[in-house]
Structure 1
């Protein structure tokens, strides 16, 4: 759906200072301003749209587009991606739209393509994730590929010496409490500010700006009241950047993600699955799972398939209950289940992928055609109950139901046509449903006016004097 706004998430290299990140982003903003479709933008650094606190090298842009423009949102995204990746290759960027980004914050992942690499050893798992990312990057129709390895900046590593702590009678818990108070602070209470309850945090002065030498010289109080330097009780060093560890069901996992660029989700993931099976050999103990929107789509398809089967059973049950005739209920069901073929053909001819919306439209077609078939058979049955022949009953049923069928189909098609053509804001969201329903309604006319009467003649024409189903 073209929302008229873009969310641009960005990450600068791990450990990049706030000033350096700001310098790179100002150059990116110059590129954003050169795009004629951009109306305005806002930037967050160290936080994101959902007000999630992040590291100083991460954040996002909210870019508003002009209402009247020549290019779609996807075309503007492709242009911005090419400009920024060419000028600022150090920035890792990820594009999306507002609703998708906000829904992604509530779900496990924002990206439609997610390949989860599981394995015990981090080095081997990261190597496999890089191979998978390379395969995804070479797949047509993918963009914003990320290998899932999130590096954090350098950190101060304090490792206490158990023997020294025991020598001075200091427990590990007391040592950790003092260190926490010195560096991060301790919540000592709270104060009411407006409608918010704010924490009061106590910490040593200058803790945020302390150098490594000053940290090593910080005093640690012993149980007897004496003081010792921190480096007398622990080793204080700076560790290089390390990768974040992510787990799922208690198993270490690295998620490789990507977005789509002018391609449907199903065909893209199928191609990726085939390439990974051929090009990425997995050692024992390592395996791959597919998540993201693809996994949710497959689950939705399974549920919708169950609903489609239930709808067909209900159509059969209603026909059987009304006419108490298995033959009649079977004919009504047969015509109803042929209806989705028209919707499927319309989706194929228009190049519209099968998704939850189009699947819902196919289910609606089953109900619409089933209802009209029941009314047609009722007219046929009523005429036969008066003693009329089968041929005349079929002609009467067609004539009696012709105008209502045409009015129903034409009115529904006229109402859905703007959605099918993508006219109006948000029309792309319901476009697959509209195309599926219109295709089903177009096929419904020959099914109800030609196929059903032919089936009635075959089923009931052999015995002109047979009693009608009641």
Structure 2
């Protein structure tokens, strides 16, 4: 039995070895041969291909690299001489630096300021208004004419309009009437700023051909205020408020660069005013609240019951017939004493008269004109309140000018206008200018915090307070370079520029860190301070140039303004590029 068992074990081992050998012969070796040779050939071809690509790229880049190498060689050979001259003429270098700083400060004042650069979004809206009383079909026909003309513009992809009222509820922000409409336009190329401006001007000319049309232009807004310029006017009396707002609007019309000037005190639709004579009401035994309720029920209607249809409830109103309330004279002739109204029922009026002898229950009808003055007038379109005070807002759009210069001119006009405003009326500038001041204060704090944190990190690394202080002198030079770049490109100072300066604080010190660190190493080796500075600048010139050029070239496409939203990105890129190159 043991022999049989041993033979089975030996046979099993031989079978296992044979199976592994067969698997290696049939599977492993062929696949190894195929993949090894194939991969070798493939890598050889790729290596040859890369060599060919490299040679072609060198032929393309070589004409550019050769002048660069020659220029860098000349700079490297002349650097020691320039460095020694600067070290020998410290006063001259400091004077030049201070002079350039002062010049950059003057340039900064010449630059405009704005909250965020105007963004070309490729879509905009015209809010159009016709005189009160124009019917919905008339407004629709006019908008159809405008739509047909705008559709023919080659740069317009979509145009549609919204006319008259809507299904907005009582909590809606805006109300719409039959004489109002909105024209929505979407451009084919949303990044073409010039085409958008041309289209806007064309539509303005089209609308100017209709003398009865007034309009307001607007773009989709990402800020608290819809329009760049807003002047808040305060007065308690509505008439004084309207006069003050009109005076402000008239002054804004004289400022170049403002368009679509509009006030919120524009008169609303015609309405009927009922002014009660309280003495006469008292003599007739009538109460003002009771008469007002009767008048309201006759004109507007009283909800008698509700008709229910599935989950909807429809009010059923009881009111005077249309023929009895169509004109102002018919409203004057409305009967306002309740007993006379009910006297048409058999015996109802006589019973009431016998119970009470006052005029309120007299069967003799009393007309509204006998106790009140009924006039046709126009009230305010809307009443604004800011911080619980009655106010009006005069708004405008900017065209071809920056927010800062226009805001300063508006402040001058408001100071001159203060003596002409009605008593107790005031006006002050708000809108995006107010947001601008808040944003600038926050960004200045962020800039100071960034400078402090950078200094703190360098002080901990260098274990010195002097060397980081020397390195931080590159930050003002970077800001000078940023201002020079903005002035050359005529880019206004905005929030994006401030963000670029904050980024610049963290980047511009890198070159100085590399230079100072190597100079300290040379001094530790026994080299004099002057020679250590010259040698450190010469050795670190190439890496400093490489890091600066790679950063500048990387930001170059952003600064050129390609793609949607380029107006936002370009100022930040220009700031970082120019500041880094100058420092």
Given the alignment of the two structures, is residue 425 of structure 1 paired with residue 539 of structure 2, yes or no?
no
Matches within 5 A, 1:132-143: 132-143=248-259
Give yes or no for contact 2:120–2:567 (8 Å, CA) kept in 1.
Answer: yes
Looking at structure 1, the residues matched to 322 and 496 of structure 2 have their Cα atoms a distance apart, in angstroms, of: 52
Matches within 5 A, 1:55-134: 55-67=177-189, 71-85=194-208, 87-98=209-220, 100=221, 103=222, 107=224, 109-134=225-250
Partner of residue 62, structure 2: none
Partner of residue 54, structure 1: 176
Please identify, of 384-393 and 365-374, the stretch whose mean Cα deviation from structure 2 is larger: 384-393
Give yes or no for contact 1:158–1:234 (8 Å, CA) kept in 2.
Answer: no
Give yes or no for contact 1:8–1:61 (8 Å, CA) kept in 2.
Answer: yes
Please identify, of 311-320 and 273-282, the stretch whose mean Cα deviation from structure 2 is larger: 273-282
Q: Which runs of 5+ in 1 are unaligned?
A: 445-470
Q: Does 1 or 2 have the higher relative contact order (CA < 8 Å, sep 6+)? A: 2
Give yes or no for contact 1:362–1:436 (8 Å, CA) kept in 2.
Answer: yes
Partner of residue 6, structure 1: 124
Partner of residue 256, structure 1: 394
- Structure label with greater radius of gyration: 2
3-state SS of 1:301 partner: helix
User: 275, 278, 295: which is aligned to 2:434?
Assistant: 295
Matches within 5 A, 1:275-314: 275-278=413-416, 281-283=419-421, 284-314=423-453
Change (3 A) 1:173 1:45: farther
Partner of residue 326, structure 2: 211
Change (3 A) 1:260 1:365: same
Aligned residues: 434
3-state SS of 1:155 partner: strand
Give yes or no for contact 2:475–2:505 (8 Å, CA) kept in 1.
Answer: yes
Matches within 5 A, 1:26-65: 26-46=144-164, 52-65=174-187
Q: Which runs of 5+ in 2 are unaligned?
A: 1-118, 344-360
Given the alignment of the two structures, is residue 322 of structure 1 paired with residue 438 of structure 2, yes or no?
no
Once the two structures are superposed, what CA deviation does each residue of 1:182-241 show, in whole Å capped at 9, x if it has no partner?
727769899999xxx977544348989963478778898969994799956985946322
Give yes or no for contact 1:189–1:200 (8 Å, CA) kept in 2.
Answer: yes
3-state SS of 1:13 partner: coil
3-state SS of 1:242 partner: strand
**Structure holding more helix per residue:** 2
Q: Please provide the CA RMSD for this pair.
A: 4.0
Give yes or no for contact 1:170–1:222 (8 Å, CA) kept in 2.
Answer: no
Give yes or no for contact 1:416–1:434 (8 Å, CA) kept in 2.
Answer: yes
Give yes or no for contact 1:117–1:128 (8 Å, CA) kept in 2.
Answer: yes
Given the alignment of the two structures, is residue 270 of structure 1 paired with residue 439 of structure 2, yes or no?
no
3-state SS of 1:285 partner: coil
Matches within 5 A, 1:424-443: 424-443=563-582
Please identify, of 198-207 and 396-405, the stretch whose mean Cα deviation from structure 2 is larger: 198-207
Please identify, of 174-183 and 324-333, the stretch whose mean Cα deviation from structure 2 is larger: 174-183
Matches within 5 A, 1:195-234: 200-204=314-318, 211-212=326-327, 226=342
Per-residue deviation, 1:386: 4.1
Give yes or no for contact 1:31–1:84 (8 Å, CA) kept in 2.
Answer: no
3-state SS of 2:267 partner: coil
3-state SS of 2:390 partner: strand
Change (3 A) 1:39 1:234: farther
Give yes or no for contact 1:183–1:208 (8 Å, CA) kept in 2.
Answer: no
User: 268, 282, 287: which is aligned to 1:152?
Assistant: 268
Looking at structure 1, the residues matched to 573 and 321 of structure 2 have their Cα atoms a distance apart, in angstroms, of: 61
Per-residue deviation, 1:78: 2.1
Partner of residue 242, structure 1: 379
Please identify, of 410-419 and 256-265, the stretch whose mean Cα deviation from structure 2 is larger: 410-419
3-state SS of 2:473 partner: helix
Partner of residue 369, structure 1: 508
Looking at structure 2, the residues matched to 398 and 198 of structure 1 have their Cα atoms a distance apart, in angstroms, of: 84
Looking at structure 2, the residues matched to 353 and 187 of structure 1 have their Cα atoms a distance apart, in angstroms, of: 64
Looking at structure 2, the residues matched to 159 and 180 of structure 1 have their Cα atoms a distance apart, in angstroms, of: 17
Give yes or no for contact 2:277–2:372 (8 Å, CA) kept in 1.
Answer: yes
Change (3 A) 1:189 1:292: farther
Change (3 A) 1:234 1:3: farther
3-state SS of 1:146 partner: strand
Please identify, of 235-244 and 73-82, the stretch whose mean Cα deviation from structure 2 is larger: 235-244
Please identify, of 170-179 and 53-62, the stretch whose mean Cα deviation from structure 2 is larger: 170-179
